[in-house]
Structure 1
Amino acid sequence: MTRILVTGADGFIGSHLVEHLVRQGHEVRAFVYYNSFNSWGWLDASPEDIRKDLDVFAGDIRDPHGIRAAMRDCDAVLHLAALIAIPYSYHSPDTYVDTNIKGTLNVLQAARDLGLSKVVHTSTSEVYGTAQFVPITEEHPLHGQSPYSATKIGADQLALSFHLSFDTPVAILRPFNTYGPRQSARAVIPTIISQIASGARRIQLGALHPTRDFSFVTDTARAFEAVLLSDAAVGQVLNAGSGFEVSIGDTAQMIASVMDASVEIGHDSQRLRPAKSEVERLLADNTRLRAVTGWAPAYGGLDGFRRGLVETVDWFSAPENLGRYKAQAYNI
């Protein structure tokens, strides 16, 4: 690949992906969200040897002209830019349609017109809704249980339609519950860690019984590169998950154990999803991704999950990192 455009490069997964690609010798153009502070998001925290090799383009995924300009001279695009906070989608769904659906259309149109050799579109395990069977294969029915997941279903279908209609070389990667350093406190693992690290011994959470398939962020970054480099991935939807299932309650207890803390878990009603919107169970079948690309999770199973939690706790516990978070506030 001559140059790879990464949209959403300033975000949690995007910044880790950019760092991974640069370290693997790829030439990367990082598409970050324009702001008056000239902030590159989490890329500002990247090592200097990474930042000096980056070609940073500030823009807005909702603007078709900007994304087209960013994509010129690129051979492939890894499209991660999206609004992802599920609670925020309940009261501001219009912004999710503009960003997740129209933004994806802008990427697809530009890639088609400019003749890019690969488009890797980012999906989410939330498109499956509560598991109707486990492990969840790519043939599992799609069930939009939140405005967020509905817009991601729409974006996925747009991406597939461009492959079927115009032969655009699209592949869809569907990560399950990625976690790790830099993740937003909207997510449950940073919520637990930041509260304990700030001294709380009664932590506030929502529902404890749902299960998730947590994937460490470096495994997700490696999955993106694997799909990027696989010709056989074109036209495919591919689950990226660890294949390990754990409840939110057990996750909280495991984090407390890693942090050597005795905690009591309290329930905060504002952290609960509407009853019919809660995704009760997620567990990935990653067989297809393994077969098509040779990828395998390095942090799979209970042992891998604990190793990933240790690395995540170490990062969040550093004062300079913990200070970025409002640990006692509910982050919508």
Structure 2
Amino acid sequence: MPPFQNILITGAEGFIGSHLVEALVAQGRHVRAMAWYNAFGHYGWLDTLPDATRSKIDLVMGDVRDALSVREAMRGCDAVMHLAALVAIPYSYQAPASYVDTNVTGTLHVLQAARDLGVGKVVHTSTSEVYGSARIVPIAETHPLAAQSPYAASKIGADQMAHSYYCAFGTPVATARPFNTYGPRQSLRAVLPTIMLQALSAAPALRLGALSPTRDFNFVTDTVAGLLAILDSDKAVGEVIQLGSGHEVSIGDAVRLIAEITGKPLAVETEPARLRPAASEVERLVCDPAKARALLGWQSTLAGRDGLRQGLTRSLEWFANPHNRSHYHDAQRYVV
């Protein structure tokens, strides 16, 4: 039996969080899913899960910016998987203080509650954006951190807060650092869903930003498997562990691969609103997954070009379903 049975997930209503909820429920664990409080009573992607899964979830609303909210949600749990964050890079240019409030202070509240309640494990979720453009390829966990956006700066702050609680108080924290996760339920703010939805439309050309940056794309089920491996491993405590495939692909090459899969020639037009400020663009990200393999025995099951092709095919099939697209209020501007 896995060591942790009663698990709080913050940000459970989101893209990765909802897949993580499903995986933990499938393992027979008790999940308390904390979703951001809103006036509509919506639980995000958790509202779309099958009734058989939802009936096994303890759904709570709260806000990681509120310490009491976090503490009450965590009470009775023996582990917490912290995914709640503001993640949209463009909005971080407009509202940087909100990223500090949610990503840094919110993480502080999770850590302090875990310390006070004696929680057995905290899995804190980071991002490859903390590295900025790669100086050393592939990127290992020892790579220097360089914030090129307010979002990245807030995540570095959160990561350092997590590390400080491990060092100062012995809080059993492990930091997962996924590279670019993609798959069903991903936000249309992300580049791959944007390409896929436009490829499924009758639009004459894709409207995209820069095509030259490279990324290490990882299918969501691989990321979730990595998070679960970190949760259940004693060796992960006090460590930062990257989750990536080690395969680098440019945005332009991703467009060409999606064109191959769909059998549709895809022209591209640059949309200025999608371009980051020049010094803020992260040009290159590619993971060295050696530490995850050594400590956890984890590796991507959909690595390399063939793996990416499989993951994109599965994602395209999901986005092609009108019922799935109906959950996006802005999908219609892509599919015409």
Alignment of 1:231-310 (within 5 A): 231-310=234-313
* Equivalent residue, structure 2, for 1:103: 106
Deviates more, 1:193-202 or 1:241-250: 193-202
User: Which 4+ residue blocks in structure 1 deviate beyond 2 angstroms?
Assistant: 322-330
RMSD: 1.1
2:12 alignment partner AA: A
Aligned residue among 124, 143, 146 for 2:149? 146
TM-score, with normalisation over the residues of structure 2?
A: 0.96
Structure 2: which 5+ residue stretches go unaligned? none
Alignment of 1:1-332 (within 5 A): 1-325=4-328, 326-327=330-331, 329=333
Secondary structure, aligned partner of 2:212: coil
Once the two structures are TM-superposed, the CA of residue 143 in structure 1 deviates from its matched residue by 0.1
Secondary structure, aligned partner of 1:113: helix
Give the distance between the partners of 2:34 and 2:325, measured in 1 at CA.
26
Once the two structures are TM-superposed, the CA of residue 2 in structure 1 deviates from its matched residue by 2.9
Give the distance between the partners of 1:108 and 1:2, measured in 2 at CA.
19
Once the two structures are TM-superposed, the CA of residue 171 in structure 1 deviates from its matched residue by 0.3
**CA deviation vs aligned residue, 1:8-53 (integer Å, no higher than 9, x gap):** 0000000011101111221111010111221110011112221110
Give the distance between the partners of 2:228 and 2:40, measured in 1 at CA.
30
Give the distance between the partners of 2:204 and 2:193, measured in 1 at CA.
15
Give the distance between the partners of 1:323 and 1:201, measured in 2 at CA.
23
Give identity over the alignment, percent. Answer: 58
Deviates more, 1:37-46 or 1:133-142: 37-46
Give the distance between the partners of 1:257 and 1:49, measured in 2 at CA.
37
**CA deviation vs aligned residue, 1:43-76 (integer Å, no higher than 9, x gap):** 1111222111000110111010010000000000
Structure 1: which 5+ residue stretches go unaligned? none
Secondary structure, aligned partner of 1:254: helix
Deviates more, 1:316-325 or 1:250-259: 316-325
Give the distance between the partners of 2:140 and 2:94, measured in 1 at CA.
31
Q: Is the 8 A contact 1:28 1:55 kept in 2?
A: yes
TM-score, with normalisation over the residues of structure 1?
A: 0.98
Aligned residues: 330
Once the two structures are TM-superposed, the CA of residue 329 in structure 1 deviates from its matched residue by 4.9
Give the distance between the partners of 1:251 and 1:328, measured in 2 at CA.
22
Q: Is the 8 A contact 1:32 1:57 kept in 2?
A: yes
Q: Is the 8 A contact 1:195 1:327 kept in 2?
A: no
Q: Is the 8 A contact 1:191 1:327 kept in 2?
A: no
Give the distance between the partners of 1:238 and 1:229, measured in 2 at CA.
13
Give the distance between the partners of 1:198 and 1:167, measured in 2 at CA.
52
Deviates more, 1:44-53 or 1:69-78: 44-53
Once the two structures are TM-superposed, the CA of residue 218 in structure 1 deviates from its matched residue by 0.4
**CA deviation vs aligned residue, 1:207-244 (integer Å, no higher than 9, x gap):** 00000000000000011100000000000000000110
